[in-house]
Structure 1
Amino acid sequence: MMTSRTAQQCGQADYGWLQARYTFSFGHYFDPKLLGYASLRVLNQEVLAPGAAFQPRTYPPVDILNLILRGEAEYRDSEGNYCRAGDGDVLLLSTQTGVAWSELNVNRDAPLTRIQLWLDACPDRENPLVQQLPLTLDRPHQLIASPDGEKGSLQVRQQVWIHHITLEPGQEWQQPLQGSRAWLQSIHGQFQALSANGEREELGCGDGAFIRDETSIRLQAQTPLRALVVDLMS
């Protein structure tokens, strides 16, 4: 079963220094029916103004995955560690008790555009504080996160597999699913999503879809397409 959630249905925020679209309840945007989906707690699409920053803050036990679409970000923690990520990078921050993180758009002339996911983290697993991975945009599929770091992916502290799909018009990709639920997110482009039993959803830039009890999902690109498939075991 698939149920779409369009970009227009998401929560919206415009603080001047930050423009955001919230798929699930976050900050001032609250919907008791949308507190996350399985272990996917947050999916935000955000644009930070030139030179803008999130001040240091602590987090619940989650893995924070940032997909940088445009610009360059700098991340610092309260223990003196820092790193940078730019266009085409995926950064995974494994939050720790008592450790605060800040985020800065290092470019003072251009905005920073990114997608951020929070995944519930198993408290018994310890991962490096920071992991980083470049996207390979010249092939249709890349596994960017998994529980065991398979195929060079980032290692998350949960039974979750995150796939990055890049297709040209007319191309299609079928993604097997391991969990009983999944989230499909369009980064940009128009496409059809088809379930194994023939259901269809038309999705456009910024749209998403809940997927339940499917063994696979097939994407057919109508325009140049980038999308994420978040395969959720729990």
Structure 2
Amino acid sequence: MINIRRSNQRGGADFGWLKSKHTFSFGNYYDERQMGFSALRVINDDRVAADSGFDTHGHRDMEIISYVLDGEIAHKDSAGNVATLPPGEFQLMSAGSGIRHSEFNPSQTKELHFLQIWIQPNVYGQTPGYQQKDFGNKKGLTLAVSPDGEAGSLVIKQDARLYQLLLDGNTSVELPASTKRKYYVHVINGELAIEGEIVKPGDGAKVEDINSLVMVAQQKAVKALVFDLP
């Protein structure tokens, strides 16, 4: 079973310095039918103006993933982590018992474009943590986040996996699946055929009750994120 959330169905916010599209309810955007999917709670498609950003603010008991599409994030948090996140890198901040951080676009001229993803943890009150890694440009599915750090992936406090998907046009990939799991595909670039549906940039696909997840790139190259959820 597949349920497509089209890009133009997403909620949004425009603060001038920040333009955001919300896949699920977030901030002032509320839709009782879109409160998340399994442990996946937030996918925000954020564009931050040059020399602007999120002031220092707090989080608790949430696994927060950032994935930069264009530009850079300057990150600073109360645990002493200071880092720059360039395009293609994944950042995972485990808020745990509580952490404060800021995210800033340090460029004086270039817009920052990134995905902000929240996944609810399955343990609470843990020591906050920070991880960051580039998983390269290998074609197919590359495991970026897992509960046990498999294949050098970032470690998340949830029974969830996140894959980076890169495909050339007219190629395909298969992810072994289970009817006991849920899957979510967020397309960044290109078009994918999934379970007979075409999923386009900004679209999301909720997929359930399958034994195999086959994703077929259409004529152009595809970049997407694939979530394996409890």
**TM-score, scaled to structure 2:** 0.94
Paired with 1:158 and 1:138, the residues of 2 have a C-alpha distance of 25
Of all paired residues, the percent bearing the same amino acid is 32
Paired with 1:129 and 1:168, the residues of 2 have a C-alpha distance of 35
The alpha-carbon deviation at position 78 of structure 1 amounts to: 2.6
In structure 2, relative to structure 1, the CA distance for the partners of 1:34 and 1:49 (3 Å cut) is same
Is the counterpart of residue 212 in structure 1 residue 208 in structure 2? yes
For residues 193-213 of structure 1, give each alpha carbon's deviation from its aligned partner in whole angstroms, at most 9, with x where no partner exists.
12xxxxx11111111111112
The aligned residue for residue 197 of structure 1 is none
Paired with 2:111 and 2:71, the residues of 1 have a C-alpha distance of 6
Paired with 2:146 and 2:98, the residues of 1 have a C-alpha distance of 25
The alpha-carbon deviation at position 79 of structure 1 amounts to: 4.1
Is the counterpart of residue 203 in structure 1 residue 199 in structure 2? yes
Is the counterpart of residue 129 in structure 1 residue 126 in structure 2? no
Mapping of residues 74-89 of structure 1, within 5 Å:
74-89=74-89
Local SS of the residue matching 1:58: strand
The aligned residue for residue 172 of structure 1 is 172
The alpha-carbon deviation at position 135 of structure 1 amounts to: 2.6
Question: Residue type matched to 2:76 in 1?
Answer: R
**TM-score, scaled to structure 1:** 0.93
Give ranges in structure 1 of 5+ residues lacking alignment: 195-199
Give ranges in structure 2 of 5+ residues lacking alignment: none
Paired with 1:218 and 1:129, the residues of 2 have a C-alpha distance of 34
The alpha-carbon deviation at position 181 of structure 1 amounts to: 1.0
The alpha-carbon deviation at position 215 of structure 1 amounts to: 2.0
Residues 145, 155 of structure 2: 8 Å contact kept: yes
Is the counterpart of residue 108 in structure 1 residue 105 in structure 2? no
The aligned residue for residue 217 of structure 2 is 221
Residues 23, 43 of structure 2: 8 Å contact kept: yes
The alpha-carbon deviation at position 123 of structure 1 amounts to: 2.7
* Length, aligned pairs only: 228
Residues 127, 155 of structure 1: 8 Å contact kept: no
The alpha-carbon deviation at position 106 of structure 1 amounts to: 1.1
Deviates more, 1:178-187 or 1:83-92: 178-187
Residues 66, 117 of structure 1: 8 Å contact kept: yes
